[in-house]
Amino acid sequence: MMKVLITGGAGYVGSIVTEELLQNGYQVSVLDNLQQGHRDAVLPEAEFIKADLANNESLDKIFRSGKFDAVMHMAAETVIEFSMTDPKRYFKNNIVNGLTLLDTMLKYDVKKLVFSSSAATYGEPTSIPITENHPQLPVNSYGESKLMFERILEWYGRAYGLKYIAMRYFNAAGASDKLGEDHRPETHLIPNVLKAALFPDKSISIFGEDYPTKDGSCVRDYVHVRDIAQAHILALTNMSDVNGEAFNLGSGQGYSVKEIVAEAKRITGKPIRVEMKPRRAGDPAVLLASRERATKELKWQPKYTDLETIIDSAWEWMVKHPQGYDV
């Protein structure tokens, strides 16, 4: 049985990757400092280790006793709103702490890593759909930190024999039966739209309705979090064949902000208050992934691609957990 350490495994994507790994017979240890994650998001079948990647002594102890076969590195500073005003948060957490993890892995001869990267490494798109060969010109420190770590992995692969795969997420969405999305603050569109349906005092803002799209609002690529989890398992099982590669994780389909709101209204049967606001600086009209490489090389076939399935799963979880975890 392969033993996998997941950093950031108490977070949204990490918890559901943990769930899928457990269902596929893996032994899982979750490392999280609970700064943004939730203890209740870690299933009891997984070992939970409360620790911080910045603590060398803790990491040393964890790896000395853990005997891990591979690491999935999902711990990161992700709250985009601070990425322009406080870049040191991103570089410290996403680069410095990441290096501490890599060096500890090498020390204990753990040389397989699946890295949670981001479509934010691409920056403003020059072509649609975005392939993995698209220029990487990040427009915020979050995207820059993810790109820098991808480059670090390449050098660690060359010099130290580290095997790695980078997964560039587009917009993770949806929920499993047990686990869902609970960020604080919540910045993702779908949960915020659903909160506006669940709580009458809340509203959703649409920033711009004059984009060159079908209805004037921005179009984005939403990928179900369970499909993301399956892609991570495929990355682990195909590591020897696709070592050093990066893969887009997107559905390859685009939905506008207004379409998200309309579908949420239909599924929930609730009114949703919408406030129209001016465009935000730096918001591209369309962000759409090409997932051809993941389909060809990982044999990844997303199962939950339609918008109804994505929103319905998120709504079911939110109705059961109106205040999220830890409440």
Any bridge partners for residue 300, and if so which?
none
Please list the active-site residues.
142
- Given this model, what pLDDT does residue 78 score? 78
CATH for 189-220+252-320, among 3.30.460.10, 1.10.10.10, 3.20.20.70, 3.90.25.10? 3.90.25.10
Residue 72: its pLDDT value, please? 98
Looking at residue 327, its pLDDT comes to 61
Q: 129: cis peptide before it, omega within 30°?
A: yes
Residue 207's φ and ψ, nearest 5 degrees, are: -95, 95
Half-sphere exposure of 31 (CA within 13 A, CB side): 24
Which residues of the chain are modeled with pLDDT < 70?
A: 80, 326-327
**CATH code for the structural domain at 3-173+223-249:** 3.40.50.720
Distance CA 200, CA 245 (A): 45
Domain ranges of the chain: 3-173+223-249, 189-220+252-320
Q: What is the pTM of this model?
A: 0.96
Contact present, 112 and 70 (Cβ < 8 Å): yes
Backbone phi, then psi, for 143, in 5-degree steps?
A: -60, -40
Per-residue confidence (pLDDT) for residue 149, from 0 to 100: 98
